[in-house]
Structure 1
Amino acid sequence: MLKRIYDWCVAAADKPYALWILGAVAFAESSFFPVPPDIMLLPMSLARPKRAWLYASVCTAASVLGGVLGYAIGALLYDSVGHWLITLYGLGDKVEAFRTSYAEWGAWIILLKGLTPIPYKLVTITSGFAGYNIWLFVLFSIITRGGRFFIAAVLLNRYGEWIRVRVEQNLGLAVATLAVVLVGGFVVAFRLI
């Protein structure tokens, strides 16, 4: 099954709809979807390392736009949709403490959590809920999300073929590592927030 999903993502890199799907996943992940765009970004960039820059650009733009939606959910719809999403991730009782920390550490929270596997939607929704300055939020989101995706682009553009051979030889280990990082992000989110 893992091989089929990987092969689909690699083959999708050549399809005209690939960028749209990648953008949709990046957009949704920043506001409500639990799966990060890395699951498509990495295999697509491995398939076409020269396009890694384009893929990172799409992920960055879509992630920031999705972040603005997450911000709006927190600012305008927290009592209904925002609270439900935060509760869905089991963090409902920790949001108030997270909101309080925004008064002092808002910029650092956005910058650091945007680079980590901690679900970014928690940052976007809480930024809106806390009333963090929208323009600073967008600026820091561009920096942090762009940093995350372009670091991957640099590595995959430069070492893509070498990485691809290693990933394909050890696909199970590569997917397990990605899953551990993703689950680790949720665990860290539960502990730090």
Structure 2
Amino acid sequence: MLRRIYDWCIDAAHKPYALWVMGLVSFAESSFFPVPPDVMLIPMSLARPERAWLYAVLCTITSVLGGVVGYAIGALLYDSVGHWLIELYGYGDKVEAFREGYARYGAWIILLKGLTPIPYKLVTITSGFADFNFWQFIGLSVIARGGRFFIVAILLNRYGVFIREQIEKRLGMWVGIGAGVLVLGFVIAARAF
């Protein structure tokens, strides 16, 4: 099953709809969806390393746009949708502590958490809820999310052939590591949030 999903993502890199799907996943991940865009960014960049830069730009733009939606959820709809999403991910009892942290360390929170596997939607929703400066939020999101996606692009553009060989030899292990990193992101968020 893992091989079929991996092969689909590799093949999708050559399809005209691939950019739309990756952009949609990146957009949704920043506002409500639990799966990071890396599940498409990495295989598509492995399949077409020369397009890794385009993929990183697309993920950055759509992630920031999705972040604007997350910010709006926190600012305008926190009592209904925002609170429900935060509760869904199990962080409802830590929102006030996180909001207080924003008053002192908001820029650092956005930068650091935007670069990590911590679900970015938690940052975007809480940024709106904490009434963090919107334009500063946008700028910091571009830096953090762009940094994250361009690090992947640089590595896969430069070492893509080697990385692809290693992934294909031990696909199960790499998917397990990826899943572990994702779960670790949620655990870190639960402790830090």
**By the TM > 0.5 criterion, same fold?**
yes
Residue of structure 1 equivalent to 2:92:
92
Per-residue CA shift, 1:86-140, capped at 9, x if unaligned?
0000000100110011010000000000000000000000000000000000000
Shift in Å, 1:141: 0.1
Shift in Å, 1:75: 0.1
Shift in Å, 1:142: 0.1
Aligned length: 193
Q: How does 1:107-146 map to 2 (within 5 A)?
A: 107-146=107-146
Residue of structure 1 equivalent to 2:23:
23
Amino acid at match of 1:62: T
Moved over 3 A (4+): none
Amino acid at match of 1:98: F
> Following the alignment from structure 1 to structure 2, what is the Cα–Cα distance between the partners of residues 132 and 174?
37
2:114 is paired with a residue whose SS is: helix
Per-residue CA shift, 1:59-93, capped at 9, x if unaligned?
00000000000000000000000000000000001
5+ long unaligned stretches in structure 1? none
> Following the alignment from structure 2 to structure 1, what is the Cα–Cα distance between the partners of residues 167 and 90?
33
Residue of structure 1 equivalent to 2:35:
35
5+ long unaligned stretches in structure 2? none
Shift in Å, 1:17: 0.4
Residue of structure 2 equivalent to 1:58:
58
TM-score normalised over the length of structure 1: 1.00
Per-residue CA shift, 1:128-182, capped at 9, x if unaligned?
0000000000000000000000000000000000000000000000100000000
2:16 is paired with a residue whose SS is: coil
Residue of structure 2 equivalent to 1:184:
184
TM-score normalised over the length of structure 2: 1.00
1:117 is paired with a residue whose SS is: coil
> Following the alignment from structure 1 to structure 2, what is the Cα–Cα distance between the partners of residues 163 and 39?
15
Amino acid at match of 1:59: C
2:107 is paired with a residue whose SS is: helix
1:165 is paired with a residue whose SS is: helix
> Following the alignment from structure 1 to structure 2, what is the Cα–Cα distance between the partners of residues 175 and 13?
19
Residue of structure 2 equivalent to 1:5:
5
Residue of structure 2 equivalent to 1:69:
69
Per-residue CA shift, 1:27-79, capped at 9, x if unaligned?
00000000000000000000000000000000000000000000000000000
1:33 is paired with a residue whose SS is: coil
> Following the alignment from structure 1 to structure 2, what is the Cα–Cα distance between the partners of residues 101 and 37?
27
Residue identity over aligned pairs, in percent, reads: 74
> Following the alignment from structure 1 to structure 2, what is the Cα–Cα distance between the partners of residues 61 and 6?
25
